[in-house]
Structure 1
Amino acid sequence: MPNITVNGASLWYDEHGSGAETIVFAHGLLWDGRMFDAQVAALKHRYRCITFDFRGQGRSAVAAGGYDMDTLADDAAELIEKLGAKPCHFVGLSMGGFVGMRLAARRPELIRSLVLMETSAEPEPPESASRYRMLGAIVRVLGKMGMRMVMPRVMRIMFGGRFLDDPTREAERQLWRERGMANHRVGITRALRGVIDRKPVLAELDRIACPTLVMVGDEDVATVPEKAERIRGAIRGARLVIIPGAGHTSSVEEPLFVNRVLTEFLARMAASASA
């Protein structure tokens, strides 16, 4: 698929399927749009599905700046408009959720519904921010060697124990280790700083009026379920689903569960629209 230039950044995107409605998937830190491969495979027969990589991550170009969440939200907004995807169903995981909340609160005309996975409306806690800065410094100084050094710790943050300890899923774990290490050291450390230094948006959530689904793994240590509960409480009518046995990357860890919940959420919307 081609790159698209939005807001001064060159972003990689993929598009699959067709339908009257579009789903845009926004990935979490360290990964790329391929973390939603299982969801795209399940939904592309009924929806136009678009995934993209944030600036400096995955297959997108490293930009000189603009890694703060407000700029990333502007990137996503322009991508949605340029690809003729509005209003879309927006599915954001972790960092993608940071962006999704900003879009739904500030650009409601772009968002038909919102799915927030493994995310937070609050600033990064100081204790985890310090740990993440240390990991980022190792990668920034040592490059690929540093990435190999920190990856065992990163995997424990990004995935839950069920996925990490299952001997039958070693090939999947190796795939995600390799994808994480494939990031450009400059792009990923700039993206990490954007996540660490993000501003809270909890006070904006009462402006979100679209149907909203919040999902979180019960093994998520990066954005614990209590944060998802606070998001649910701040968005009128939002529904919260706890994903058993999933950590911070539930779209990969528990794809069948996530696909079922997503499909049911979208079907309920379609039924309400036709009623």
Structure 2
Amino acid sequence: MPFARAIDADIHYEDSGGDGPVVLLAHEFFMDRTMFASQMAALAPEFRVVAWDARGHGRTTDQGLPFTYWTAARDALTILDHLGVRSAVVGGTAQGGFTALRTALLAPERVAALILISTEAHGPTPEQSSATHEFLDEFFDTHSRLNAVSRLASWLIGEEECHRAPWTERWLVRDREGIEVAAGCLLGRDSVLHRLVDIACPALVIHATESGIARERATQLARGINGSTYLEIAGARLAVTMTHSGPVNHAIQQFLRATTPPAQTP
């Protein structure tokens, strides 16, 4: 299995391979790299798609220490270094978008374009923090986990059982430690809204209307990045890459064809 070695973590990734421009994708909280299976199938081999597991998720292993999305941005750069890639399109869904934004701010010369899906530049509101804490209490209670998992599936995915079932099976056996540390990162994130003006690369912003992210926040993100492309997908939740893969793949493909240079390696 492919891993990129950070100072205190082994970052697991999946690589479609190929000679096309590299597209590095980071997943949503509570999910993993496999939420981009449709994008890997649709975009390769024209584009080389690399999807990776964040700390506390999937097959990535770390020391269980607190981290931030700036740490995650450095993990993204570690993967590019490991692959020998100088510049890539960097993107993600929800928390993956938080990471992508910080990657572009941390190393703008490494980010050719951004794909920002069901995400925002704000920090969490007090209401969001309170609701997340309440949910985690329910999730970690063995008597209420099944109900919590069902609600999580409805929130992230929707009601289509073909998409829900694989994830509910994984969530029912999730360990507490990794999720708690990752939740600390999620709830402790800083706002980068005021720094969007510093991002000069092209950006595609895809807003899922039922994601729980306010449309105002999504449009603020799009307006904040000069010349960005904005798309709404009606009726979609956070995991829009799975449930509405057709329009998502089409939008990404058109964006990449319009904005990406040939693949760059050292």
TM-score (norm 1): 0.89
Amino acid corresponding to residue 226 of structure 1 in structure 2 = E
Amino acid corresponding to residue 85 of structure 1 in structure 2 = V
Quote the Cα distance in structure 2 between the aligned partners of 1:38 and 1:20.
Answer: 17
1:187 aligns to 2:187 (yes or no): no
1:101 maps to what in 2? 101
Quote the Cα distance in structure 2 between the aligned partners of 1:49 and 1:66.
Answer: 28
Residues 229-240 of structure 1: pairs in structure 2 closer than 5 A:
229-240=219-230
Residues 154-233 of structure 1: pairs in structure 2 closer than 5 A:
154-159=152-157, 163-164=158-159, 169-221=160-212, 223-233=213-223
Query: How far is 1:212 from its partner?
Result: 0.5
SS at match of 1:67: coil
2:13 maps to what in 1? 13
Contact 1:7 1:75 in 2 (8 A): no
1:60 maps to what in 2? 60
Query: How far is 1:182 from its partner?
Result: 4.3
Contact 1:27 1:94 in 2 (8 A): yes
Unaligned segments of structure 1, at least 5 residues? none
Name the count of aligned residue pairs: 263
Amino acid corresponding to residue 126 of structure 1 in structure 2 = P
Q: Which moved more, 1:262-271 or 1:8-17?
A: 262-271
Q: Which moved more, 1:74-83 or 1:49-58?
A: 74-83
SS at match of 1:10: strand
Query: How far is 1:59 from its partner?
Result: 1.6
SS at match of 1:29: coil
1:263 aligns to 2:253 (yes or no): yes
Distance 1:181 1:68, change over 3 A: farther
Residues 37-56 of structure 1: pairs in structure 2 closer than 5 A:
37-56=37-56
Contact 2:205 2:228 in 1 (8 A): yes
Q: Which moved more, 1:45-54 or 1:174-183?
A: 174-183
Contact 1:22 1:48 in 2 (8 A): yes
% same residue: 28
Amino acid corresponding to residue 92 of structure 1 in structure 2 = G
Amino acid corresponding to residue 224 of structure 2 in structure 1 = A
Contact 2:64 2:177 in 1 (8 A): no
Quote the Cα distance in structure 1 between the aligned partners of 2:135 and 2:41.
Answer: 34
Quote the Cα distance in structure 1 between the aligned partners of 2:139 and 2:200.
Answer: 40
Distance 1:50 1:114, change over 3 A: same
Please state which structure has a larger fraction of its residues in helix.
1
Distance 1:47 1:271, change over 3 A: closer
2:149 to 148, 151, 156: 151
1:88 maps to what in 2? 88
Q: Which moved more, 1:97-106 or 1:130-139?
A: 130-139
SS at match of 2:61: coil
Residues 26-37 of structure 1: pairs in structure 2 closer than 5 A:
26-37=26-37
Amino acid corresponding to residue 180 of structure 2 in structure 1 = T
Contact 2:113 2:203 in 1 (8 A): yes
SS at match of 1:210: coil
Query: How far is 1:52 from its partner?
Result: 0.8
Contact 2:113 2:260 in 1 (8 A): no
Distance 1:181 1:62, change over 3 A: farther
Query: How far is 1:62 from its partner?
Result: 4.5
Quote the Cα distance in structure 1 between the aligned partners of 2:26 and 2:42.
Answer: 17
Query: How far is 1:146 from its partner?
Result: 5.2
Distance 1:92 1:41, change over 3 A: same
Unaligned segments of structure 2, at least 5 residues? none
1:254 aligns to 2:252 (yes or no): no
